[in-house]
Structure 1
Amino acid sequence: MLEKLKEIALRYEDLQAQLADPGVYGDAVRLRNVTRELKELEPVVAAYHAWKTAKASREDAEKLLHDPDLRELAQEEFTAAKAECERLERELTLLLLPGDPNDHRNVILEIRSGVGGEESALFAGTLLRMYTMYAQSKGWRCETVNLSETELGGVKECSVLIEGEGAFSRLKFESGVHRVQRVPETESGGRIHTSAATVAVLPEAEEVDVEIDPKDLQIDTYRSSGAGGQHVNKTESAIRITHLPTGLVVECQDERSQYKNKDKAMKVLRSRLYERELARREEAEAASRRSQVGSGDRSERIRTYNFPQGRVTDHRIGLTLYKIDSILNGGLDELIDALVTADQAEKLRQGGGEV
């Protein structure tokens, strides 16, 4: 591990030197790559330097343990420095775990209502609100790509672009089936119903990731419209793109500009194709990118929101929290932190390390 840390420290110094080169600032792509890599390495280098400082303090204190006049004070310093070294070694072990190459990416969040009719659509709307509030709490930017609503304000399906530092790294564990148990507003008998909605979290793909032949696209335009005829657009600005080789269809009618709708739709299509390719590679390698906390398969039930009991249970890690209101208002950090920890523990187990 020590050799690896030395290599990282040298690489960090090299990247800092590159930033001092005026030529780097003239190349937008290179500048973005250098600053991104610097940001990724910074916590490792900071922890490594802190560990070296703690190690030096421990060694100095250890030498003074043989001095009768300073032994008591030296013992305190030695114990504190030793504990700090051990803490930093655990932190460095986690920091050196292989990262997800998509963690730095923005997110295409897709939510679809499932079994349960109107109640499922209302729950899908609740999930959309939850993720929007969570994104806002993180300072991320949310932009609706497509939204299909029901007459009662539920969500049949939607696509949202979420842009911000760490968006995919935090949200990637949310893919799967979310189940709700509650008494619907439309239920007069007070019976608890169970319904579900599906969430997909896709890393936003860049043009260099997926090459799309324009000949493979069928692009149709139509007039935008909302539930009950609301937001009707008199021009055909809505876009429907069909990727002929795969049959994937993406729609966008959020903007009044046909060009902007096409741009958003292409982002979603590119991300779906990128996710397909990632899934194909995973299957070929017979290894799950998300290991312990689930494959991210949209058919996998991952979480239950039980309103009568006020609880939320994540089935992948067996965690139950009795704070449903807080969670549905965007308070997802406790759940996500637990999922990240479980993922790290599994990677350590597979690598033969310990937390």
Structure 2
Amino acid sequence: SVMEIRGGAGGDEANIFAGDLFRMYSRYAERMAWRVEVISSSPAETGGFREIIFNISGENAYKYLKFESGVHRVQRVPVTETQGRIHTSTATVAVLPEAEEVDIEINPADLEISTMRASGAGGQHVNTTDSAVQLVHKPTGVTVYCADERSQHKNRNKAMTVLRSRLLKAKEEAEHAKYAAERKGQIGTGDRSERIRTYNFPQGRLTDHRIGMNFSLPTIVEGNLDALIEALHAVDYEARIENLVKAQEA
């Protein structure tokens, strides 16, 4: 599956938190023997990322990670804080199913492809060839930029992977919206604006608001997500069964 993490409200601290989330998912992937490949990243000057897009491939990766979509909120004293005050910042996570070419057919005529030189954090050009690629899917306006590789061909392939995943996700979201009322109680719409979780560092506690459960934060940030993911799946499964029973009674 393709994951996108973006620093949200909270400036530098939000970007640092986005970096922490990337590290947490990378550690979890390592424990699950999955492969992590960065597709594109926009590192922040103070640490972390303004945005990072990466692919996690391995058995059942999307199944286990799909409930991570939404707004993640962090409460802690930032490294940059001199008065010791607790700040609240957010990062958004989007989890997209990895789309095969058979899932999403993209008409080449619908694509606007531009190449350019990749630029670094300070705006300076990273390399001298036009290796960065930007794809615009004209019917939907979805835009993907990729400059991680030195080869234009590789960047184009990576950008296509992200574009396919985003289009598949949009298609699935449109289908889900039709059945939203029937799916009441099931975990997460996968809506990236839904606040799903609070990481409270002073109290060492992680709260998942969708299931109202608390977990040990130090354990979670090290990539030990098993208990949390199992709890989310269990609640979602119960809600699915309940909805099926109601549908049959109706």
TM-score range, shorter chain: over 0.9
- 1:225 positional shift: 3.4
Q: Quick one: higher RCO (CA 8 Å, sep 6+), 1 or 2? A: 2
- Calculate percent identity across the aligned residue pairs: 57
Q: Which residue of 1 aligns with 2:73?
A: 179
Contact 1:110 1:159 in 2 (8 A): yes
Q: Which residue of 2 aligns with 1:324?
A: 217
**Quick one: which of 116, 119, 128 aligns to 1:222?**
116
Q: So what's the TM-score if we normalise by structure 2?
A: 0.93
Contact 1:149 1:226 in 2 (8 A): no
- 1:335 positional shift: 0.4
Q: Which residue of 2 aligns with 1:146?
A: 40
- Call closer, same or farther: CA 1:230–1:133 in 2, change over 3 Å: farther
**Quick one: which of 326, 332, 338 aligns to 2:231?**
338
Q: Which residue of 1 aligns with 2:145?
A: 251
Equivalence map 1:186-335=2 (5 Å): 186-228=80-122, 232-287=126-181, 291-321=185-215, 323-335=216-228
SS in 1 for 2:71: strand
Equivalence map 1:78-157=2 (5 Å): 107-157=1-51
Segments ≥4 residues shifted beyond 4 Å: 228-231, 287-291
Which stretches in structure 1 are left out of the alignment for 5+ residues? 1-106
- 1:281 positional shift: 1.1
Q: Which amino acid aligns with 2:162?
A: V
Which piece of structure 1 moves more, 119-128 or 209-218?
Answer: 209-218
After superposition, what is the alpha-carbon deviation per residue over 1:282-316, rounded to whole angstroms, capped at 9, x for unaligned? 12233577952221111100000001001000000
Q: Which amino acid aligns with 1:330?
A: G
How far apart are the structure 1 equivalents of 2:185 and 2:109? 37
Q: Which residue of 2 aligns with 1:158?
A: 52
How far apart are the structure 1 equivalents of 2:127 and 2:197? 38
How far apart are the structure 1 equivalents of 2:123 and 2:166? 30
Tell me which protein shows more helix as a share of its residues: 1
Which piece of structure 1 moves more, 289-298 or 276-285?
Answer: 289-298
- How many aligned positions are there? 246
Contact 1:290 1:343 in 2 (8 A): no
How far apart are the structure 1 equivalents of 2:178 and 2:127? 46
Q: So what's the TM-score if we normalise by structure 1?
A: 0.66
Q: Which residue of 2 aligns with 1:348?
A: 241
Q: Flag the structure with larger Rg.
A: 1
How far apart are the structure 1 equivalents of 2:172 and 2:186? 18
- Call closer, same or farther: CA 1:215–1:349 in 2, change over 3 Å: same
Contact 2:182 2:243 in 1 (8 A): no
Contact 1:236 1:258 in 2 (8 A): yes
How far apart are the structure 2 equivalents of 1:108 and 1:217? 20
- 1:242 positional shift: 1.0
